[in-house]
Chain A
Amino acid sequence: MFGSHLLESTRRRFLQLSAAGVGTASLSGWLKALANNPAAAPTQRSRGRVKSVILLWMDGGPSHKDTFDLKPDSKGAGDFRPIATSVPGIEISEHLPQLAKWMHKGTIVRGMSSPEGAHARAKYNLHTGYREGQGGLSYPSIGSIVACEKGSPEASVPNFVSIGTRTYGSGFLGPKYQPLIVTSPSRGVEDLKATVSERQFDNRLGLLGEMEAAFRGQYKADVIVDHKTAYERAVQLMHSQEAKAFDISLEPSAAKSRYGSGNFADSVLMARRLVEVGVPFIEASLGGWDTHQDNWTKVKSNSQQVDAAMSALIADLNERGLLDSTLIIWMGEFGRTPHINTRGAKPGRDHYPKAWSLAMFGGGMAGGRVIGRTDKEGAIVEERKVAPVDFLATVCELMGIDHTRKNETPTGRPVQIVEKPNAFTQEIL
């Protein structure tokens, strides 16, 4: 599935890193893996094991120095203390205590560095790997890419579901790979229930079927068949057992309460239910991270929500044997300034795309790894800079998607899924 050039480039990159003499945390993990099993080729076998991705989008840009990359001795350290995790040497925020216990299943990428510092443009860039407006095209988001590459066209549940948020869609790939948007997780999918009784709905479908057959018989156009397919899939979803995944009221209340309460908790719970019915990409979001003011109050409260929902999610997936095939991503559009601003009574931190963190759990990763390192202020990436394309390519590789493949735009332009990435897959498997 992967061309030899890919292995080649990975090897080359390793040599480059070695030559540069960077034998620190992130790389040592990989070296250790090699050392343990010197005969094994760099874990090729583990690629493509991921069947589903849950993207937990931290809207507004979470402060890396107050979540996954604490710098207690820096000038702009802030109020929070780091705590130990299940992996010796890796510390995270004191407000993520339950998540800390799962660190051995997770990877922190502390080397994120991206080009956009305005919300909309940064979100676009992190979702698609391209700059907004680049080349006059509208690019597909990672969810649509996954739906297109790994989704089943016959699945009764759409291959890309976005819960509680409007997100970036399929761009030039077209509406087939658009997300199904669940506006409110407690209400479920809009329009999923018929407005009439089941019996009457069946009558209506019967009439429609007759009309369709007659029209198709006379006009024989492909578009009529496509219309039929879309309707059949929609009806199938309405009637399917899988559609119950959207109904979180069916979840036992004890299990539900572990996720916490509120929209985000409900979204994460629904995401787990959707993974169980095989949806390959689910996005759920938690807002309130744009903490220009009153940073610590807000980050603390957000962290508590994340801590409860994410640790419950990891535990549930683990219990069901789905953790290795499900990749959970925690990220926003950028980090926040390493220094604390001086505006207002309750200061905060401003946008900072130059150095920031994201976290990944499950996904068959070795776990307990850190990719990249920032300086003592958390201001500069000193080792293993990770660009948005590097990250997206890694997600693709974990899912077994060949990101060097080109999709064609409606006007026939070939566009590579991810352009010129430097993935870190080898370093985390």
Chain B
Amino acid sequence: MRRNRVLPIAALLVAVLLLAQTTETVAQTPKQVQQFKQKLRQQEVRKKLRELQKAKEAARKAKAQANEKTKAAEKAKAQANEKTKAAEKAKKKPTPEPESTPAPTALTFQPQVPAELTAIPEAQDAAAFAKRIDDQIDAALRNENITPSPICNDEEFLRRVYLDITGVIPTLEQTRKFLDSTDPQKRSLLIDELLADPHYGRHLADQWIPKLYPKESNNRFVLKEPLYNWFQNQFNQNTRWDQFVFDLVTATGTVEDNPAVTYYLANRSVDKLTDTVTQHFLGIQLQCAQCHNHPFTGWKQQEYWGMAAFFSRVVPQNPRNANRGGDNMKIGVTEGTTRTKLRDFFPEATMDVAAKFLGGPEPKIAPREPQRPVLASWMVAGDNPYFARAMVNRTWAQLFGRGFVNPIDDMHPDNPPSHPELLSDMARIFAGSGFDVKFLTKAICLTNTYQRSSRPTAGNENDDIYFSHMTMKVMIPEQLFDSVTRVAGPTLEAVAKNRQEKAQAGKRRPGNGARDQFVTFFLAGSEAASTTEYEAGIPQALRMMNSRLAGSPALARNIAGAFSKPETAIENLYLTTLSRRPTEAETARLTGYITQADNANTAYSDILWALVNSSEFTMVR
């Protein structure tokens, strides 16, 4: 769908107008009509919301003004403290650092979450938060007269939550343990357990790094691993999201001391920095406004370069060929006091304007003061209009295959959310929780909405807006690789992991390990995989079928062979690959297959092959 040719905008407008007046004259599918109606409704809702918001805004302003004074006093105090600290630090280090090593900036992160958000009870209680989400989703479903699918069974839940949170299917033992447990709290306990699993951070790093580290020839000497590991650790430690992003946006120092600077090394031009920061952290596609006023969103070119100005003094060092003696752990990023003089750092279209927050004011920045902390403080504030919403929408989309706003990083007035109030509500609660990503994830996973079956029921098959049933997602290549190696068993899984790490450590360049190669092969040139479209083609299908990945007799024997009874072997094969027990019909059919075969082990390998190649294996149902 999304790769279709672009309809000329004018034609689209005409079609919409015609549709509004004489629906019968325009041949439209019921789905399109439904979507259109929905859009109209959303626009009405938005209007009302805007009016409401205005009233609220006025009230809030009055309150904020009162707060402002107290805040200012606190800030002054904090800054005074900061100075004393810095002075102390300076005393401890009497010798100035050599010029080549960039010094870290003094400005540090300060949480800025309004007390009214922290005070929301749901911000401290995941179950209550989940209920608040369900209530709003259910209200919309009732409103649309759509019957939701029932809650999924344990098998569906188990595989889904493992893949969504840790990016890999459960082992045979983990599967049995969960399915056999009679604890009524077992789903909630499993969510906690998986959020504490180190694979959680890895899965998120797998999704984030391609966005912040573009694969291009300019980056061939930029080390990816430090950034990847930093992301993985931040997510695993559950660093609050506002701090996480603050630290990334203000990153200074060497790769060795502060791996977050890699983001700047991998995006060595002011437009790349502006594009990625607004897109991924604020949910806004600003890049078109680089060269012209944006046709749909109303973003002006001035606005773009106002944001870009915050990065205008960044100086990322050029990485060098490691084979010629460059140590790319020792390079880094500084922020100067004048515009950067680096070659190609400013594109041709550059406008030299004063730094200005997107859709907000021009901050007063002292001439020699670093600019990025000013931007970062504005971005991650609890009342920033974009920041929390962007993360909520993204997290939701990771779990449901689609966000409230789609594409997830293209929020603008003409692309309204499917559930506008819910998105705002969740953003407030997320901010109120102290930007706690694990908390947000847990709350969503606890909802009935998340735990619905992906099997559609009569009447909700065509719904892909109201979350009446779970979206069938396609594994990203990393999930597929990790899951296939997990089927192969702990020994082989460890070997694969070890090889990957060795390859990375040896060359310190991306793309060396088996996992990287597999991912490159399956991504086949595109930057990131879609979870809602099956994008693999002939080469990938051939690899799955005919490499030694699947259907190895030795592996089949490993999984199934220790049991004399075919039924048990079949069950083991299913639990290992699909994380479920076979149905009676499946057991009967496959038992027949095994008994008819000349060699039972060959038959097991056939079953294993079919299971690993099945769409059920490659999907997150």
Which residues of A line the B interface, CB within 8 A?
Answer: 118, 120-121, 124, 132-133, 135-136, 138, 158, 168-176, 178, 180-181, 189-196, 200, 203-204, 207-208, 210-212, 214-216, 218-221, 223-224, 226-228, 230-231, 233-235, 237-238, 405-408, 410-414
Contact = CB atoms under 8 A, between A and B. Distances in A.
Interface string B534-552: 1111111111011110010
A235 B522 CA distance: 18
A175 B547 CA distance: 20
B5 interface: yes
Given A189-B542, A219-B621, A408-B5, A168 B615 contact: no
A173 B3 contact: yes
A414 B6 contact: yes
A175 B5 contact: no
Nearest to B530: A410
Contacts of B615: 212, 215-216, 223-224, 227-228
Contacts of A118: 217
12 contacts: A133-B216, A136-B276, A136-B287, A172-B526, A175-B523, A175-B526, A195-B546, A207-B590, A207-B607, A220-B456, A223-B532, A412-B2
A230 B6 contact: no
B611 interface: yes
A227 B218 contact: no
Contact of A174 (B455, B535, B621): B535
Contacts, number: 189
Contacts of A170: 524-526
Contact of A230 (B217, B526, B540): B540
Contacts of A200: 602, 606
Nearest to A144: B525
A381 B619 CA distance: 55
Nearest to A140: B525
Interface centre among A169, A215, A237 (most CB of B within 10 A): A215
Given A138-B526, A220-B461, A191 B6 contact: no
B3 A138 contact: no
B527 interface: yes
Contacts of B329: none
B515 to A, nearest CB: 18
A237 B542 contact: yes
Given A200-B606, A406-B5, A223 B218 contact: no
Given A227-B534, A234-B542, A408-B4, 10 more contacts: A136-B276, A138-B525, A176-B537, A178-B537, A195-B548, A211-B616, A221-B619, A234-B538, A405-B5, A412-B407
Interface in B433-486: 454-456, 461, 471-472, 474
Given A135-B287, A230-B534, A175 B6 contact: no
B611 to A, nearest CB: 7
B368 to A, nearest CB: 31
Contacts of B46: none
A227 B540 CA distance: 11
Interface string B584-621: 00100110010000000010001101110111101101
Closest 7 CB pairs of A and B: A169-B525, A120-B217, A234-B541, A221-B472, A226-B534, A178-B524, A207-B610
Interface centre among B285, B454, B532, B610 (most CB of A within 10 A): B610
B409 interface: yes
B122 interface: no
A211 B616 CA distance: 9
B410 interface: yes
Contact of A224 (B290, B602, B619): B619
A385 to B, nearest CB: 20
A124 B220 CA distance: 14
B102 interface: no
A223 B545 contact: no
B610 A178 contact: no
Given A173-B3, A215-B616, A234-B542, A223 B525 contact: no
A414 B616 CA distance: 34
B374 interface: no
A204 B610 contact: yes
Given A169-B525, A208-B614, A233 B538 contact: yes
Interface residues of B, number: 71
B540 A175 contact: yes
A231 B290 CA distance: 42
Contacts of B471: 221
Nearest to B344: A133
A407 B539 CA distance: 24
Nearest to A203: B606
A5 to B, nearest CB: 15
Contacts of B618: 227
B6 A406 contact: yes
A272 to B, nearest CB: 21
B275 interface: yes
Interface centre among A173, A238, A405, A410 (most CB of B within 10 A): A410
B214 interface: yes
Contacts of A406: 5-6
Nearest to B285: A411
Given A192-B542, A195-B548, A176 B535 contact: yes
Given A133-B218, A138-B527, A215-B615, A408 B285 contact: no
Nearest to A180: B539
Nearest to A182: B539
Given A136-B275, A196-B551, A174 B538 contact: no
Contacts of B525: 138, 168-171, 175, 178
A118 B530 CA distance: 32
B537 A210 contact: no
Contacts of B6: 406-408, 414
A158 B539 contact: yes
A266 B68 CA distance: 75
Interface in B259-303: 269, 271-272, 275-276, 285, 287-288, 290
A201 B201 CA distance: 39
Contacts of B590: 207
Contact of B216 (A132, A193, A207): A132
B362 interface: no
A210 B271 CA distance: 52
A226 to B, nearest CB: 4
A230 B410 contact: no
A196 B604 CA distance: 14
Nearest to B612: A208
A416 B611 CA distance: 42
Contacts of A138: 215, 525-527
Nearest to A132: B216
Contact of B538 (A168, A237, A407): A237
Given A227-B534, A408-B4, A219 B276 contact: no
Contacts of B44: none
B369 interface: no
A408 to B, nearest CB: 5
Contacts of A169: 524-526
Contacts of A208: 609-610, 613-614
A234 B542 CA distance: 6
A410 B532 CA distance: 12
Nearest to B538: A234
Contact of B2 (A192, A223, A408): A408
Contacts of A227: 534, 536, 615, 618-619
Nearest to A216: B615
Interface in B362-412: 407, 409-410
B533 interface: yes
A191 B545 contact: yes
A212 B614 contact: yes
Contacts of B610: 204, 207-208, 211
Contacts of B541: 230-231, 233-234
Contacts of A192: 542, 546
A249 to B, nearest CB: 19
Contacts of B527: 138, 172
Contacts of B220: 120
Nearest to B276: A136
